Amino acid sequence: MKNIKFTKMSAAGNDFVVVEDSDLCGLAGKICDRRYGIGADGMLLLEKTVKADIRMRIFNPDGSEVDMCGNGARCAAVYYTYMLSAIRYPLIKIETKAGILEAKIDGDMVKLKMSDPHSMKLDISLVIARNDERKRGVTKQSPCSKSEIALGTSCLRNDVMVVNFINTGVPHAVIFVDDLENIDVDKLGRAIRNSERFAPKGANVDFVKVLGKDKIAVRTYERGVEAETLACGTGCVAAAILSGAGRSVDVVTHGGEILKVCFEKKGAKVSNVWLEGSAKIVYKGRMEL
């Protein structure tokens, strides 16, 4: 048995177990299990680095490692500031597989400068087979009807859906809808996430409703978690950029908290992207594995 020290953290309901022991990489699944472990959307491994103030690695509940996590990085910034650093720096640099991120902290509010998004593709025609079978998209159709989406079906005639794609540190498929509350996020999200269009690694799937000028609501199915989470930072950024709602967007998460996304856009190029919201330590503890 191994006795581990951990810290439970949350950012807009996106919860993480934070550890500093690299020997725990292979135990992320057990640690994140909500019935037999601590329970979390992911495990953050924080390590020393010469490239930044701290290095963050993130592991999903299925054991896979991903390049980046917006809410996880905001938690890492808080952890470094209040648990590791003797000095309160105005700017914290976090090394990730997606590049160096910068964070500013004011209490439990964290502003995170994201890496520039890339690989944006609009109006992708996607065939989603029933029973989660994988098929390749072949034709372009009009967007899904409200009733079809609300019922959680594959939507559209011949099961063709129009989605958008953007990588905001991790890949995201973004779908704009009228009825966000009644969407079967797990069923539709799983089917889209497993589409051959996004093979082999898949994509997070964001269902988005525009609420008004500069305000949207988002629900996200996260790969690796393989379920809907209360919030997804990179998903909020993806949705805000593609929504056309403005350059400073309030994003209502499934957990009810609001994250703010700000960015600059010149033509098709998006830069200077910031994600802002609360991140806090929930509790500290020890666990035997």
Catalytically annotated residues: 69, 232
CA proximity to 174, closest of 155, 193, 187: 193
Cα distance between residue 188 and residue 208, in whole Å: 13
Q: Is 105 exposed, middle or buried (0-12, 13-18, 19+ CB in 10 A)?
A: buried
Contacts of 115 (CB under 8 A, 6+ apart): 68, 98, 99, 101, 168, 169, 273
Q: Are strands 269-278 and 109-113 parallel, antiparallel or unpaired?
A: antiparallel
Tokens of 169: 């540190």
Distances from the Cα of 146 to the Cα of 27, 127, 180, 195, angstroms: 41, 18, 9, 22
Q: Tell me how far the alpha carbon of residue 103 is from its chain's centroid.
A: 17
